[in-house]
């Protein structure tokens, strides 16, 4: 983790803030927190993350999804209606139990 922080401190800070906010919301609303994917501990992932968001800032959303274990939408990460959780919600019948969205 230290090499990731040293490699890209501002990216780590922003990402850590977002993951923390998502975890707090999930804990409050669903009583559980999302698991962090193992790729979040891989410096190669962070290298790719930094390179990609420099060219296309919207890719940060896809990497955040990836870190949270969801399958990212690499083509249109900023389009809410293209997100897998939204797609599932649109086609699934309403249920009485609330589940944690994934993706």
Tens digits of residue pLDDT in 57-88: 999 999 999 999 988 999 999 898 888 777 87
Distance CA 81, CA 90 (A): 9
Dihedral sign, Cα of residue 8, residue 39, residue 58, residue 103: negative
Q: Is the pLDDT assigned to residue 29 strictly greater than 80?
A: yes
**Mean pLDDT across 40-46:** 97
Count of the separate structural domains present in the chain: 1
DSSP 8-state symbol, 58:
T
Mean pLDDT, the chain, whole residue set: 89
Query: Domain range holding 8?
Result: 2-91
For the entire predicted model, the pTM comes to 0.81
Residue with the bigger pLDDT between 88 and 15: it is 15
**Mean pLDDT across 9-19:** 97
Identify whether 51 is part of a domain: yes
């Amino acid at each position: 983790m230290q090499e990731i922080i040293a490699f890209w401190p501002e990216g780590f800070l922003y990402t850590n803030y977002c993951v923390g906010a998502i975890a707090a919301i999930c804990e409050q609303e669903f009583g559980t927190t999302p698991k962090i994917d193992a790729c979040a501990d891989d410096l190669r992932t962070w290298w790719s993350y930094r390179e990609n968001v420099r060219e296309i800032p919207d890719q940060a959303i896809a990497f955040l999804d990836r870190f949270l274990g969801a399958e990212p939408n690499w083509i249109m990460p900023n389009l809410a209606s293209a997100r897998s959780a939204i797609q599932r919600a649109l086609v699934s019948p309403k249920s009485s139990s609330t589940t944690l969205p994934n993706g």
